[in-house]
Amino acid sequence: MIAPALESLLFQATVLLGAAILVRTLSEGGGPLATGILLGVLFIAAGAFHMSKVSDLIPELQGRFPIRVELNSLNLDDFKRILREPENSLIKQYQALLATEGVAVEFDDECVDLLASVCEKVNASSENIGARRLHTILEYLLEDLLFEASEMNGKRVRLNAADVQKRLAGIAEDRDLTKYIL
Q: Is 41's pLDDT higher than 80?
A: no
Q: Which CATH number fits domain 76-178: 2.40.110.10, 1.10.8.60, 3.20.20.20, 3.30.420.40?
A: 1.10.8.60
Q: Which of 42, 57, 32 is nearest to 12 (CA)?
A: 42
- The domain limits of the chain are 4-62, 76-178
Q: Which helix (H) or strand (E) holds 122?
A: helix 109-125
How far is 62 from 53, CA to CA, in rounded Å?
10
- Say what the pTM is: 0.59
Provide DSSP, 146-178.
Answer: HHHGGG-TT-EEEE-HHHHHHHHTTTTT-HHHH
- pLDDT band at residue 40, thresholds of 50, 70 and 90? low
Beta bridge mates, 126: none
Q: What interhelical angle do 90-99 and 76-84 show, nearest 10?
A: 40
Interacting residues of 12 by C-beta distance below 8 A, sequence separation 6+: 46, 47, 48
Using one digit for the tens of pLDDT, what is the confidence trace for 3-19? 555 445 444 544 444 44
